[in-house]
Structure 1
Amino acid sequence: MTDSRRPLKSRGAGWARALAAGLARTGVRPDVISASSVVFALAGAAAFWLSADAGGWCRPALLIAAALCIQLRLLANLLDGMVAVEHGRGGPLGPVWNELPDRIADALFLVGAGYALRHLSPDPGPLLGWLAAVLAVLTAYIRELGRALGFEADFAGPGAKPHRMAALTAGCLLAAAEPLWRGGPPMLLLTLALIVVLTAVTVVRRTLRLAARLRAAPV
């Protein structure tokens, strides 16, 4: 159903339409594109993990690789729906493949980013990563709960998936550049803390919006 799709300006971009058309011509199924987002997330989580013990140029390179994996995940999320809807390639299991890989990818990236900070003492990074992951799943749960109750999908932020991934990408790039200025708090730690706050606000906001819809609905 198209009303459950996240509104994205990039969906109308010429490059996105061309990529989706090209994938549709090859016959690749949208479910496979959805699954590829988990592969990118696994690669990103591995880059985060390895970055904690890396020295010299390796740590910035791994953080940049993680940022690239985040963007490839988002690209897969964009194209799977376009191939399914615009090109009529969707299957009966589409809703499962549309949601489940997203939840796995969110957790891999956020928890992975937390463990990229496990070298700190004290090490709040893993806790922040897990907390961000749980809150991310909650935002999706509240959205899907609303849909199950008959309402349109609520993609309200400020900590929706695109916002979280944009913040994490920026945090990776800033953390990669830390050797240039030396000193100061770890940028990845600040980024995870920001994601936790924004996602918690989103959980509360979506819950209140759903409650308001329920109160306004006819009995």
Structure 2
Amino acid sequence: MSIYKLKSSFQTILRPLVGRLAASGVTANQVTVGAAVVSVAIGALLLVQPLPGLFALVPLWMFLRMAFNAVDGMLAREHGQQSALGGYLNEMTDVVSDAALYIPFALVAPFSLPWIATIVFLSVLTEFAGVLGVAHGKGRNYEGPMGKSDRALLFGAIGLLVAMFDTLPDWTWHLQPMACVLLIWTVVNRVRTGLPDGDTSDI
């Protein structure tokens, strides 16, 4: 199960806005790149000024970023803007944006850089595993339990806690290894789902 399953309901809400954006000449690739620029800017700001209150930007932007991601996909599919370049931009900007938004949490005790770096690496691996399903005719794979939307919820909640209380309790350290286990589970799920039928006997 993944929060990604709620995406269709989110898209229904956004569809009128997407229609207006398309009519005004906004392109899917512009939305994709714009979301990545904002993500990197917020990540850079938190690295330079890791003030607890600024971490409130993370949950706010995580929600808005989900909207941006839904909008660019709908512009591409429903308004004739699909392109090979768009596919590359989608995948590359997602992993860059995730890394930019996760890394500042290494500055928040009890989190640490080695664990956050591991989470970033495994997050990239989950998206890589999801994309590889296309090569086997399975399509892009979004299996959970720790897909992009789930990670957005996790880090958004942590960012909100930091902003509200200025610090995190010691027990939250355990969220790091737990996230890593869930990410590895996600990679396995995506590989299993993405393999050709009948080719899972060794897993």
Q: TM-score range by the shorter chain?
A: 0.7 to 0.9
Partner of 1:163: 150
Provide closer, same or farther for how the CA distance between residues 211 and 183 of structure 1 changes in structure 2, counting only shifts above 3 A: closer
Partner of 1:10: 9
How does 1:43-58 map onto structure 2 within 5 Å? Answer: 43-50=41-48, 52=50, 54=51
**Aligned equivalents of 2:22 and 2:168: distance in 1?**
49
- Three-state SS of the structure 2 residue aligned to 1:177 is helix
TM-score under structure 2 length normalisation? 0.83
Give the total of aligned pairs: 197
**Aligned equivalents of 1:135 and 1:23: distance in 2?**
34
Provide closer, same or farther for how the CA distance between residues 192 and 94 of structure 1 changes in structure 2, counting only shifts above 3 A: same
Provide closer, same or farther for how the CA distance between residues 70 and 186 of structure 1 changes in structure 2, counting only shifts above 3 A: farther
Q: Per-residue displacement from partner, 1:95-153 (whole Å, max 9, x unpaired)? A: 11221111111111122322x32xx4xx7521122111111111111111121122233
Q: Per-residue displacement from partner, 1:176-206 (whole Å, max 9, x unpaired)? A: 2225xx873275x554444323212211222
Partner of 2:169: 184
TM-score under structure 1 length normalisation? 0.78
Q: Is the 1:147–1:153 Cα contact (8 Å) retained in structure 2?
A: yes
Partner of 1:215: 199
5+ residue gaps, structure 1? 1-5
Partner of 2:27: 29
Partner of 1:204: 188
Task: Give the C-alpha shift of residue 80 in structure 1.
Answer: 0.4
The structure whose Rg is larger is 1
Provide closer, same or farther for how the CA distance between residues 12 and 28 of structure 1 changes in structure 2, counting only shifts above 3 A: closer
Give 2:134's match in structure 1, choosing from 144, 147, 151.
147
**Aligned equivalents of 1:51 and 1:190: distance in 2?**
25
Provide closer, same or farther for how the CA distance between residues 10 and 49 of structure 1 changes in structure 2, counting only shifts above 3 A: farther
Partner of 1:126: 113
Q: Is the 1:47–1:66 Cα contact (8 Å) retained in structure 2?
A: no
Q: Is the 2:95–2:124 Cα contact (8 Å) retained in structure 1?
A: yes
Task: Give the C-alpha shift of residue 63 in structure 1.
Answer: 0.8
5+ residue gaps, structure 2? none
Q: Could you say what the CA RMSD is over the residues aligned between the two structures, in angstroms? A: 2.6
Identity %: 26
Q: Which amino acid aligns with 2:128?
A: Y
Q: Is the 1:171–1:191 Cα contact (8 Å) retained in structure 2?
A: no
Relative contact order (C-alpha < 8 Å, sep 6+): which is higher? 2
Partner of 1:106: 98
Q: Per-residue displacement from partner, 1:50-108 (whole Å, max 9, x unpaired)? A: 453x3xxxx22x01012222222222111101111112233342211221111111111
Q: Is the 1:29–1:90 Cα contact (8 Å) retained in structure 2?
A: no
- Three-state SS of the structure 1 residue aligned to 2:199 is helix
